Amino acid sequence: MSALTSLTLKAALKGLADKSFSSLELTRAHVDAVEAARPLNAFVLETPEKALEMAAAADRRIAAGEAGPLEGAPLGIKDLFCTEGVRTTACSDILGNFVPTYESTVTSQLWRDGAVMLGKLNLDQFAMGSSNETSAFGPVVNPWRAEGSNRQLTPGGSSGGSAASVAADLCLGATATDTGGSIRQPAAFTGTVGIKPTYGRCSRWGVVAFASSLDQAGPIAKTVEDAAILLKSMSGHDPKDSTSLDIEVPDYPSFVGKSVKGLKIGIPKEYRVDNMPPEIEALWQKGIAWLKEAGCEIVEVSLPHTKYALPAYYIVAPAEASSNLARYDGMRFGLRVEGANLTETYEKTRAAGFGAEVKRRILIGTYVLSHGYYDAYYVKALKVRRRIADDFDQAFQKVDALLTPTAPSAAFGLGENADDPVAMYLNDIFTVTVNLAGLPGMSIPAGVDHNGLPLGLQLIGRALDEGTLFSLGGAIEKAADFKAKPAKWW
């Protein structure tokens, strides 16, 4: 049934509507693919029975002429989204076998629209990481390998399970989240499309919190159009999230294929960083040429505060994380390690339950929020954040969108940056600015490096202008004609 798993979401939805195959057949093919792909470690929980039950219900709705926009399509869910009655761990031991009694808003909207859940996907613990190596379940292995090598590569992070499972055709699309790049960098490392929408587009309700002012959900998909279809279902106002925007969700798929003629595209000169591989620069130039050919006007712009973005992000995100993660005290969720008294129970539980990277973030966050350092670090970082947003505002007076590389390298080896947190943080250099400013950003596969590994280009849009990103992403996708797939070794 490999033909069914190689379909795009769009093609699968058409096949279901035409009754070329049933959701049960489509879902069975994906369940089998998930099972066969265990060496990738992309799923931390497979839910085949639930998937087949949901597929049968979808088939009944299709037969009754009541199909929703995602009716019968099997998806993977990042294990940061709470799923009612289905274990949700954030890939941390501290949540243990936590089974939510509620469903996240984003996933409930997917089920409302007819999608089928294949299971829960691996991620960096609490979404903190860029390589999936901080997961309590062990790292996801990228389905891609360098030509002539069998070295294991990272799929990126934190949404490594989402990206790897889409790249390996285990699901038709996946949910992901992005606090500093966790949708876009894994998409770039696996030859998939990922979009982080404007802050407030998708409800954060029921998504395990990392840094609440930066966290946003979004899809990872096989094509730009698939990403548009998924984002449409995932977006929308939710009274349960006070930062959710009460505005209409545009029909994203209708933007794909639209002409981009006359659009002005900014090239931020500060994104040309030291030691960037020449292949990334060359890919960026190709992207510029493609958009020019499609009728765009290319304009050099300056985002002068870019160099402060990473330090500001690595203050703001840990600060919020240290506060959000205070709730894991052994009393309410998951793990509890008993001590002689209450304080000792807290300490033992948190010492045993949190991984090393999470502890590092809590320590940094607590430090930058502490009396005496608050103004020097946290308040300063907030001021930088404002400057970064102002830089974008100014650029968007001149241009309609920005084009940059997504990440400073192709996928690196598992273990390669593991003992150097700063080297790991540098991976986020092109992505964190977008979260700090709350803007939409998309990664599109655009080529391969000398090892045959995928590389991505990033489009950054005005707040709420995901539509233009879908049009431009569609134009890049068409010009790049990226057809490469990982050679199957699993």
Q: Are strands 74-78 and 116-121 parallel, antiparallel or unpaired?
A: parallel
Distance (Å, rounded) from C-alpha 137 to C-alpha 89?
10
197 near ligand GLN (CB under 6 A) = no
State which H helix or E strand residue 475 sits in.
helix 466-480
455 near ligand GLN (CB under 6 A) = no
Residue number with CB closer to ligand GLN (224 or 434) = 434
Q: Which residue from 428, 449, 466, 477 is in contact with ligand GLN, where contact means CB under 6 A?
A: 428
Q: Which stretch binds ligand GLN (CB under 6 A): 122-130, 240-248, 253-261, 268-276?
A: 122-130
Q: Which residue from 178, 225, 465, 466 is in contact with ligand GLN, where contact means CB under 6 A?
A: 178
Residue type at position 173: G
155 near ligand GLN (CB under 6 A) = no
Distance (Å, rounded) from C-alpha 399 to C-alpha 387?
18
Which residue among the candidates 92, 104, 131, 158 is catalytic per the annotation? 158
Q: Which stretch binds ligand GLN (CB under 6 A): 180-188, 235-243, 383-391, 393-401?
A: 180-188
Q: Is 78 a catalytic residue?
A: yes
Environment class of 421 (CB within 10 Å of its CB; exposed 0-12, middle 13-18, buried 19+):
middle
117 near ligand GLN (CB under 6 A) = no
Which residue among the candidates 22, 131, 159, 182 is catalytic per the annotation? 182
Beta bridge partners of 384: none
Q: Which stretch binds ligand GLN (CB under 6 A): 124-132, 286-294, 329-337, 390-398?
A: 124-132
Residue of 84, 119, 90, 88 lying closest to 102 (CA atoms): 84
Six-digit token string for 231: 């984002």
Q: Is 182 a catalytic residue?
A: yes
Alpha-carbon torsion angle 382, 385, 389, 395, nearest 10: 140
SS3 category, 260: coil
Q: Which residue from 158, 233, 349, 404 is in contact with ligand GLN, where contact means CB under 6 A?
A: 158
77 near ligand GLN (CB under 6 A) = no
Q: Which residue from 128, 172, 403, 476 is in contact with ligand GLN, where contact means CB under 6 A?
A: 128
Look at the chain and count its residues: 490
Six-digit token string for 149: 């090598």
SS3 category, 207: strand
Q: Which stretch binds ligand GLN (CB under 6 A): 21-29, 127-135, 201-209, 445-453?
A: 127-135
125 near ligand GLN (CB under 6 A) = no
443 near ligand GLN (CB under 6 A) = no
Q: Is 162 a catalytic residue?
A: no
DSSP track, 323-382 = HHGGG-SSSSSS-----SSHHHHHHHHHHHHS-HHHHHHHHHHHHHHSTTTIIIIIIHHH
191 near ligand GLN (CB under 6 A) = no
365 near ligand GLN (CB under 6 A) = no
Residue type at position 421: P
Smallest distance from ligand GLN to CB 257, Å: 29
Residue number with CB closer to ligand GLN (182 or 203) = 182
Show the DSSP H helices in 22-128 as ranges: 23-36, 48-63, 105-112
Q: Which residues are catalytic?
A: 78, 158, 182
Residue numbers at the binding site for ligand GLN (CB under 6 A): 127-130, 158, 178-182, 210, 317, 428
